[in-house]
Structure 1
Amino acid sequence: MSKVSGESLNQPLKRFKKVPVYVVEEHNEALQFIYSAIGGKKLPLEGTTMLHFDAHPDMLIDRKMKGAEARAGKNLLPLLQIENWIVPAAAAGHLRRVVWMRPPWATQFSDGTRDIRVGDHPHTGQLRVDSKEPYYMSDALYSTHLLNERTFTFTVAEIAEPTRKKSDDELQKLVDTISISKPYVLDIDLDFFSTGNPFLNLYDKISLYDLLEPIFNFNLPENDDVETVEKVVKQREEQLNELENIFEHLEENGNLQAYEGEKTDLLTKVSVVVDAVTKEAERLGDSPDWFAIFAGGCTRDQGGLPFHISTEQEVEDMVNQSLLPLLRRLPAPVLITVARSTDDGYCPKHQVDFIQSLVLKTLQEVFDTGEPALHYLTVNSNRVI
């Protein structure tokens, strides 16, 4: 998808006969169908809105990703992971607006609307944003200086508590707040309805998830002036880089005996955890996955990931009292993507098929959809088309 003239951007879009529904396992796999719709002129090259139901924003950026990689069309797809697939599409201009509908237990962003600039860091070429939200600062993704920048609008809104149905006035207020218009993509992660945290199970007998918090902890700057924020973000980047080097060494060697990096307080803290994990792994006859432990630590910066295992009744209430009434007040999307997110532990395995059947039934009831394409059954989950 290369740059095209303004005239071609204004060409009328083609239409699907029925709204296609694509069901994937890992959430980033949804983007391939959005890009295919752009290539098939079912979606515009620029300016699409995404309505994103999820327990997680998925709005991070791989800290090492270059802006040029984000603008490389389908070549971008193999570089993405479940937490960082949306903003690169915004950096390429394909998404102009993202609306994150969150369940009550997901609080990574405050409700409201903000414009976010995304572009290339002038010195590294890496993709960065100008947002001072803790979500971005804690991953060292903030920069006020950007090249090849785009601006996208990000709206966050909460669906009602599972046990409480919105009144007509409340529902209309929500519809007005999110202000969805065509063309848009409807995107639903099934963990929106019941949310696990796979990192809680990592050596839970020694409470590893809690042991990681002081190591990966991030303190927000005392004020939000640019100079202070940039200084704090630079320190955070150094912290994350050091931790990444330590855990890469652990993955390769299984211990820190030959580690040649600087002997810092951070290394001392990690060493204490390594001793505890090693002893517990020996007791279990296990071999630690240090990359998984590092990934778990990276979620501890602002208190940890959301966790709420819903009852079946709560799931049914969320579908019937929140999702269904809202969708009935919206125009039909161009396409629908659904992510199961169960192999990685975010949607509970014992509930995923139940939730999926309810959601697909609801989509068929509200929109003129085609037969769902169960992509997760036909391809290896690591393969990207």
Structure 2
Amino acid sequence: MLFGDKMKIMCRRHCIRYVFTFMTMCFVVGMYMAAIKHNMDVHKQFHIKRLKVKRDVHVHSRVHEFRQRMTNLKPIKEPPHVDKDKNSFKREDNDSLHVHIVEEHHEVIPYWFAAVRKGILPRSGNTLVHIDGHSDLAPPRFIPGYPTFKMPHEKDLRYLMQSNDVFIQASAMTGLVNRVIWVWPDWDQSNHDSNYFMSTISLGMVMTGQKTKPARKEFCACLKNETRFECRTIANISRQANYSVEDDYFTIPRSMCKIMKILIVEEIHEFKALSFFGKSDWIAESENIILDIDEDYFGCSYAIQPLLKSNLSLSKIVKLDNLIAAHLCPTSFSHEKESDKYLVDILAVARTKRACIKDNRLKHTDRCNETANVDLLKHFKHKLERLVSNNIVRMCSKYDNAYAFAHSLVTKIATYSINQIRALQETGFCSHTSTKTFRTDQNTPRFGICKGSNTPEDTAVLEHTPTLTELATRSVLLKGLLKKLTDHSVKLVTVSRSVRDGYTPRQFFERIEANVLNGLNESFHGQIDLHYDRELLGGKPGWPARHKA
């Protein structure tokens, strides 16, 4: 009996020793794995600031208003802006690669989903290769009627087209895109800590319910930030939300964000992308690729610069812009084009009359003779009345006085120099966003001087004006990237001009677009089917060529 007790005691001791040893080993291994993970995190952290977005200053200023009236939003009923050109996917050669050129980046949405309907793209799981000077990874805003986390119907695509920097997350929420590879240019190096990093964005919904108020919904995104897993939303949807002034978002507890979609995001320097695109284990043969190119990949400039260089003060620019916005309110692409033509015609006649008076050598030329007896105010007041009565140009109110507007306009132009008038002609007039952009009754496109979203004093992005040498070098590099992609399953190509928002340098626009199209044509051996969107700013030739100033 004694011997049996001793054996039991020894067994217990051995068991305790083994358990203790096992726990010690688990602790050591756990600490080692944590150390490795921490080391990786140091080099591959996901910082929201890296996701440099193209935030229209008008959109940015409306975010705060939106948070206050979010539950009262009523979307305007309008025809869906989807694949209006029924020939956009017709082709004689079934092996051709569809290339669609749009103006603002979110205008790619109808083409992506039309490709799904026509069987060119699968409904889900696609990889987006995004060659751009900006990530465009901002979150969309939840609006009543939004098709949340499901494949949208044609009529609902407009909800995904809120601005030029939210279309990627909006597409990912539908399941269309699972992986984003953002190729960024060398000139954007200051916004990146390393030449490559990969992370995930967990996309979801946050909803709060109150007894006295209806439930509120908003999109949320969770991502790893330093050593924390942080969830964010753009609306102050809960008392538990904490606002970040620097980044303009609210952090919320992780438990509040119901995750519904995981998006893989990879950010890669253009030089490194050249070597990565050649790796068969990086992009699998089975991956279906949407190739998306923004022409601001070549550079990002201030569209307002010609006006400032002409010594036209910012205060004068703002006053003229406000005057025009208060009286001209185009609601269609045609209205916008004709409004620009009307204003540029006034400038052209005013400039010619001024030049004829100033330079005696011009007095007897045909142009001077044509404009000598033109009464600017009378002529353009009558012209505006004709345009409005024929619904060619739309004024903001039926009570608007054409004479008062024309008088104010002519009076202001009289204070500008010839060079300043020329700069206004060159810059032109447009809506700050496309008529295709999702609108609510409190958010209509503002028409005015086509000066873009950023100024030297107020910019959300890095400005970079390329040299001609740099344009040539980047064109060669882009061609190298495209040739590497020909070994993969590229299903669709979209190209965004980004001229309206003032990102792509307008003085180099024709050269940049020609280089992009030449690169695509050579890389895919001429087997491309090119389609220009019907509502391109300035039409197919582009904005700079619409009028010869």
Q: Is the 8 A contact 1:116 1:129 kept in 2?
A: yes
Secondary structure of 1:188 counterpart: strand
Query: What pairs with 1:343-382 in structure 2 (closer than 5 Å)?
Result: 343-368=500-525, 370-376=527-533, 378-379=534-535
Pairing 1:186–2:278 present: no
Distance change in 2, residues 1:173/1:380 (3 Å): closer
What residue in structure 1 maps to residue 275 of structure 2? 172
Q: 8 Å contact 1:66–1:126 — kept in the other structure? A: no
Q: Does residue 202 of structure 2 align to residue 117 of structure 1?
A: yes
Q: Percentage identity across aligned positions?
A: 23
Structure 1 residue 328 and structure 2 residue 409: aligned? no
* SS class of match (2:217): coil
From the superposition, tell whether residues 325 and 203 of structure 1 become closer, same or farther in structure 2 (CA, over 3 Å): closer
Give SS of 1:36's match.
helix
Kindly indicate whether the alpha-carbon contact (under 8 Å) linking 2:302 and 2:452 is maintained by their aligned counterparts in 1.
no
Preserved contact between residue 127 and residue 289 of structure 2 (Cα < 8 Å): yes
> Cα distance, 1:319 vs. partner?
1.6
Which of the residues 307, 314, 329 maps onto 2:470? Answer: 314
Q: Distance in 2 between matches of 1:81 and 1:26?
A: 8
Report what 1:94 is aligned to: 176
> Quick one: distance in 2 between partners of 1:24 and 1:31?
10
Q: 1:146 is aligned with what amino acid? A: C
Q: CA offset at residue 22 of structure 1? A: 0.6
The answer to whether the Cα contact below 8 Å between 1:67 and 1:126 also exists between their aligned partners in 2 is no
Counterpart of 1:155 in structure 2 is 266
Matches within 5 A, 1:126-275: 126-131=218-223, 138-140=247-249, 143=252, 144=254, 145-147=256-258, 149-160=260-271, 171-173=274-276, 175-176=278-279, 179-181=282-284, 182-198=287-303
Which structure would you say has the larger Rg? 2
Q: Deviations over 1:126-155 (max 9, x none)?
A: 122113669986141655332361001000
Query: What is the SS of the residue equivalent to 2:157?
Result: helix
Deviations 1:15-48 (A, max 9, x none): 9521111111111111211111111222111110
**1:6-155 → structure 2 map (5 Å cutoff):** 16-65=94-143, 68-70=146-148, 71=150, 72-74=152-154, 75-77=156-158, 79-106=161-188, 108=191, 110=193, 111-123=196-208, 124-131=216-223, 138-140=247-249, 143=252, 144=254, 145-147=256-258, 149-155=260-266
Equivalent-residue separation in structure 2 for 1:371 and 1:307 (angstroms) = 32
Judge conservation of contact 1:186–1:336 (CA < 8 Å) in 2: yes
Gap regions ≥5 residues in structure 2: 1-92, 209-215, 226-231, 235-243, 315-324, 327-414, 425-431, 433-444, 539-549
Q: For 2:303 and 2:224, how far apart are their aligned partners in 1?
A: 28
The Cα offsets for residues 227-270 of structure 1, whole Å up to 9 and x where unpaired, read as: xxxxxxxxxxxxxxxxxxxxxxxx99xxxxxxxxxxxxxxxxxx
- Give the distance between the partners of 1:91 and 1:80, measured in 2 at CA: 14
Does structure 2 retain, via aligned residues, the 8 Å contact 1:66–1:127? no
- Judge conservation of contact 1:50–1:95 (CA < 8 Å) in 2: yes
Q: CA deviation at 1:158?
A: 1.1
Amino acid at match of 2:260: E
Q: State the alpha-carbon separation in 2 of the partners of residues 146 and 294 from structure 1.
A: 35
- How much is the aligned-residue C-alpha RMSD, in angstroms? 4.3
- Tell me the secondary structure at the aligned position of residue 507 of structure 2: coil
Look up the SS of the partner of 1:326 in the other structure: helix
Residue 334 of structure 1 aligns to a residue whose secondary structure is: strand
TM-score, scaled to structure 1: 0.62
How many residue pairs get aligned? The number is 289
Amino acid at match of 1:323: L
CA drift at 1:364: 1.1
TM-score (norm 2): 0.45
Instruction: Name structure 1 gaps, 5 residues minimum.
Output: 1-14, 161-165, 209-250, 253-282
Secondary structure, aligned partner of 2:207: coil
